Amino acid sequence: MSTHEESAPGPISGALVRGVGLTGAKRRRGRGRKWYISLFLHGFLIFACLIAIFPVFWILISSFKDQQEIIGSTTLSILPHHWQISNYTHVLTDDNHIFLTWMWNSVVVAFFTTVIGVFLAATAAYAFSRYRFPGYRPALMAFLITQMFPAAILLVPVYNIILHLGLLNQKAGLVLAYCTTAVPFCVWMLKGYFDTIPISLEEAGRIDGLTPFGTFWRIVLPLSTPGLAVTCFYTFITAWNEVAFANIVLISPEKYTLPVGLQTYVYQFDQAWEKLTAGAMLVTIPAVLVFLFAQRYLVSGLTRGGVKG
């Protein structure tokens, strides 16, 4: 009797397998959850989503109102009586297009922070993942310890370093400050991702003549697209939304980034709500675009395998 005939299931065993499969499928579909429990859970999730979305919705609606209507509006009259886009035109054209200057500064700072920070984090994470060297554990723990301190504690030492380097009121100084906070988190995240990549793939590349950096650049990084996408998005958002370091490093109004620039719409005894809400909505556009870009690469990276069978 051949091996195929010995391993072929009989009528009884085949029925048992089908029965077990149907029972497992029913169990997965049912899970013992009642319909009213599912209704309550879905209702609670919808309610939580509405709570999270409402502030953004209020800012969006208020950006089409004038100052008096924003102050006098109530919950029942949240929609504007007269829709207008003058708030956006005023923000984009006031003071010699200062808002566009702030946006350009934010784009430059966030871009270089992302490129430099992720490159440093990826190389360091690869070294921690693949090599064991003297001081391995203390160095790895040092990256973790830096995440335990709040940003307020790091303001003074980072400011002193930037001041002694002559980078005060410079974009390069702000990039340096942001890298100090983004790199440690990205190192730990990318190290965990690099640990999941089989070393046999790198060994095959070394046999084909690749250098250690070549295996890192041509094999490890393409397989780490999901991890790189997440770390790039985290680093960009960190640099895009940060205000504490930018507030102490940047002095001249033309050097401001968007978070610092939006503070100029809040006066001592009054607030320009129409400009503040319009500027807040304009700030979200680049962040949303970066998220959509990172999401596309994240999904493609999750569906891509390291070995094709």
pLDDT band at 212 (very low <50, low <70, confident <90, very high): confident
The string over 288-298, giving b where at least 16 C-beta atoms fall within 10 Å of a residue's C-beta and e elsewhere, is eebbeebeebb
Of all residues in the chain, the percent with pLDDT exceeding 90 is 26
For residues 214-231, average pLDDT: 87
Whole-angstrom Cα distance, residue 254 to residue 250? Answer: 9
> DSSP label at 271?
B
Whole-angstrom Cα distance, residue 100 to residue 107? Answer: 10
Looking at residue 51, its pLDDT comes to: 93
Model confidence over 132-176: pLDDT tens digits? 888 888 988 888 888 888 878 888 999 999 999 999 999 999 999
245 and 66 Cβ atoms separated by less than 8 Å: no
Looking at residue 202, its pLDDT comes to: 87
Model confidence over 74-90: pLDDT tens digits? 655 677 777 888 889 88
Architecture label for domain 96-302: Orthogonal Bundle (1.10)
pLDDT band at 225 (very low <50, low <70, confident <90, very high): confident
Residue 200, pLDDT above cutoff 60: yes
175 or 302, higher pLDDT: 175
Q: What are the domain boundaries of the chain? A: 96-302
- Residue identified by tokens 């984090």 is 121
Whole-angstrom Cα distance, residue 232 to residue 32? Answer: 41
Model confidence over 241-253: pLDDT tens digits? 899 999 999 999 8
- Rounded to the nearest integer, the mean pLDDT of the chain is 82
Q: Is 0.85 surpassed by the pTM of this model?
A: no
Model confidence over 42-51: pLDDT tens digits? 999 999 999 9
For residues 61-68, average pLDDT: 85
CA 170 to chain centroid: 25
Q: Which residues contact 260 (CB under 8 A, 6 or more apart)?
A: 102, 243, 246, 247, 250
Torsion of CA 209, 214, 215, 217, to 10 degrees: -150
Q: Which of 28-32, 77-81, 103-107, 221-225 shows the lowest mean pLDDT across its residues?
A: 28-32
